[in-house]
Amino acid sequence: MKNANSSEKLIFTASEDMHGLRLDKALSLRQEIGTRSRAGHLIDSSLVTVNGKSAKSSLALKAGDRVEVAMPAPTPTELQPYDLKLDVLFEDQDLIVINKPAGLVVHPAAGHAHDTLVNALISHTDDLSMKFGEERPGIVHRLDKETSGVIVIAKNDSTHEALTAQFKERSTHRVYFAVCIGTARNFSGVFKSFLARHPIDRKRYASVPGPDRKPLQDKDHPPEIGKWAVTHYEVLNRKSGLSYLKLKLETGRTHQIRVHLSENGLSIAGDTLYGADKKIRSIEAKAVQEDVKKLPRFLLHAAELGFTHPRTQERMSFQQDWPEDIQALLKKWGLR
């Protein structure tokens, strides 16, 4: 990652090839900017003028237009490298795929300023998508701290933008495994709802009325507009009051799997935020109850990730089994 100490101006005259192009598209063709999202950021920040006047992203350029861009100096990062050996599944000049261990926070947050995946990545490589000095370099999607499994990180801005678009367009393939306390009523199905922050407990998320329904009014806790979330599930095994599930994400909202499962009577084992600790007594085998009480994490694992490589256009697929200690528990409990 490179951090400049001062801003500089980019000045150019629109070429014949740029005639008729939207301003944001034309700017994205400049190597100094590189992506349409960065161009839009510059325009929205009033850092771009055309013929001496501020302009919108949608402005159609004409050949000969004088374009000036005040390139912002990237904010010097305060991120510190973290010496942690990463389980690298794949790496090239554009991206890196990691098998993230449970207990590792993806990016710096309260209580975790230096011991995160981002800090470990900084120690591992100098090439990460940094945009304009953001503090989450390369992070395209995230996994909760206690979730283990496959995650992809971008090494440059064009890869970052392309991968982000794939997640947004739902062209990625994501499969998770979960062990839940409770017995699933059906062997397969789909959970659908709008998700937003819980109106009272802000650490949690919850299903809320959709935008076409008028939610209950509460002046102390005004409702948030929920985001549509879809989780497909398949029961792989059931025993002693536990359900072993395979989950395929159609969308990727914060806490999506945890909310959908808990709201349908299937709290993930070890997930105290979503009430799993209150259901331990429903597990039939006392020995399994004791094992669940001692869990150092909740049992959710990102097992499969598929996407199209932005540069080569190759379809890539990665599979990773549970960590060995969890595999042993699943066998002990008769779930595998």
Nearest alpha-carbon partner for 235 in 313, 158, 179: 179
CA dist., res. 174 & res. 65, Å (int): 45
Catalytic residue (one of 94, 144, 157, 271): 144
Q: How far is CA 246 from CA 79, 103, 228, 253, in A?
A: 36, 22, 20, 17
**Helix 36-44 × helix 157-169 angle, to 10°:** 100
Known active-site residue 212: no
How far is the C-alpha of 128 from the C-alpha of 235, rounded, in Å? 38
- Got the DSSP string for 260-272? HHHTTT-EETT-G
d(C-alpha 318, C-alpha 150), whole Å:
7
d(CA 38, CA 135): 16
In whole angstroms, give the CA distance from residue 204 to residue 214.
22
- Nearest-angstrom CA–CA distance, 289 and 236: 20
Tokens 């959710």 appear where? 300
Got the DSSP string for 210-225?
Answer: -TTS-PPP-TTSPPPP
Residue 103, C-beta contacts closer than 8 angstroms, at least 6 positions apart: 145, 146, 296, 297
Determine how many CB atoms are found less than 10 A away from the CB of residue 103. Answer: 12
Quote the tokens at residue 223.
């409702």
Just list the catalytic residues. 144
